[in-house]
């Protein structure tokens, strides 16, 4: 009898802060990085359009259990806005709908940006993955059908003008989840009275993860296997917005076996648990004062975590 075949690849655990290049999908970038690591299991934490570059955290092995955590995180972008041209997708990939002259000055631009600081209402674009009656909006858009979309409340924590020349603005935006930067670009153009679309986008931050620590696919390909492994952030780097619980050996063992343990801290929310300097996983705090395992890492994937940064 033949022995069962092992799955191909390596058991790699951690988070790669990829600087995604222009013109490829997030999935294509993921598969390239996965091949570089020869990793058995990989996933991303939310996509970037092919038009966009910048921070794309990729999860390997046990880190894939926590990939959804960043979907709720605040994000930062540098965006290039082309004034005077509107498109059907609100970005540079769409068909031009209208071209107008641009006659705005710095004072008008700053005043327009100021209108978008704070909590605002955004109507999601038709060319988006949001669903209506079980079908993504972009499918309706491709069929030439426009459906009604309810405005959604999002927060623009900060918006800064980086450059302004002729018909082009470059801005930096710190925003909440669910913010569409191309819709923001389109709305800025409407306020200025000349129309606009998003000409370029670079994501610079997600939660506490920063593009400054990122690496390109070309740089990754030039490294040796040990050097590539050294570029992986620990699994718990996806959970740095949560408080940490430092547990003793007995409580750590109980959690690892799926059992709740007594907790003397806050009685609501979630936290990241550590035992013996190792990251154990994500726990829920019950009103009765217990930590209950929510999503735990496999013992073989335990690694030195970031408990000291709690």
Domain range list for the chain: 14-70+210-236, 75-206, 242-309
Q: Is the pLDDT of residue 300 over 70?
A: no
Three-class DSSP labels, 87-156:
ECCCECCCCEEEECCCCCCHHHHHHHHHCCCEEEEECCCCCCCCEECCEEHHHHHHCCCCCCCCCEEEEE
Give the pLDDT of residue 266: 79
**% of residues, the chain, pLDDT over 70:** 85
Q: Is the pLDDT of residue 202 over 70?
A: yes
Give the pLDDT of residue 307: 45
Domain 14-70+210-236 annotated CATH 3.30.2350.10: yes
Q: Is the pLDDT of residue 92 over 50?
A: yes
CATH superfamily entry for domain 75-206: Pseudouridine synthase (3.30.2350.10)
In the predicted model, what is the mean pLDDT of residues 26-44? 94
- Pairing label, strands 52-60, 196-206: parallel
Supply the pTM of this predicted model: 0.87
Q: Which of 13, 19, 49, 229 is catalytic?
A: 49
Say whether 75-206 and 14-70+210-236 share the same fold: yes
**% of residues, the chain, pLDDT over 90:** 67
49 carries an active-site annotation: yes
Give the pLDDT of residue 310: 43
CATH superfamily entry for domain 242-309: PUA domain (2.30.130.10)
Lowest mean pLDDT among 146-155, 190-199, 227-236: 146-155
């Amino acid at each position: 009898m033949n022995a069962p075949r092992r799955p191909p690849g390596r058991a790699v655990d951690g988070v790669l802060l990829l600087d995604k290049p222009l013109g490829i999908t997030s999935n294509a970038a993921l598969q390239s990085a996965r091949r570089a690591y020869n990793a058995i299991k990989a996933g991303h934490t939310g996509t970037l359009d092919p038009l966009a570059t910048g921070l794309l955290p990729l999860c390997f092995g046990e880190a894939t259990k926590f990939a959804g955590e960043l979907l709720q995180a605040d994000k930062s972008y540098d965006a290039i806005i082309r004034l005077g041209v509107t498109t059907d997708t609100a970005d540079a990939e769409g068909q031009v709908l209208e071209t107008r002259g641009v006659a705005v000055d710095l004072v008008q631009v700053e005043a327009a940006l100021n209108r978008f600081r704070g909590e605002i209402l955004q109507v999601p674009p038709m060319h988006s993955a949001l669903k209506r009656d079980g079908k993504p909006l972009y499918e309706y858009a491709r069929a030439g059908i426009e459906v009604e979309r309810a405005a959604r409340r999002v927060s623009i924590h900060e918006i800064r003008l980086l450059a302004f020349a002729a018909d082009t603005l470059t801005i930096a935006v710190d925003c909440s989840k669910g913010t569409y930067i191309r819709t923001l670009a389109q709305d800025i153009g409407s306020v200025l009275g000349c129309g606009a679309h998003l000409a370029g986008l670079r994501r610079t931050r997600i939660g506490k993860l920063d593009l400054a620590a990122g690496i390109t696919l070309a740089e990754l390909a030039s490294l040796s296997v040990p050097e590539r492994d050294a570029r992986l952030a620990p699994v718990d780097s996806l959970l740095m917005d949560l408080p940490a619980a430092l547990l003793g050996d007995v409580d750590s063992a109980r959690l690892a076996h799926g059992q709740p343990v007594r907790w003397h801290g806050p009685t609501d929310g979630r936290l990241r648990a550590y035992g013996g300097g190792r990251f154990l996983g994500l726990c829920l705090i019950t009103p009765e004062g217990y930590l209950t395992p929510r999503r735990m890492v496999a013992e073989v994937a335990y690694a030195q975590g970031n408990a000291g940064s709690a």
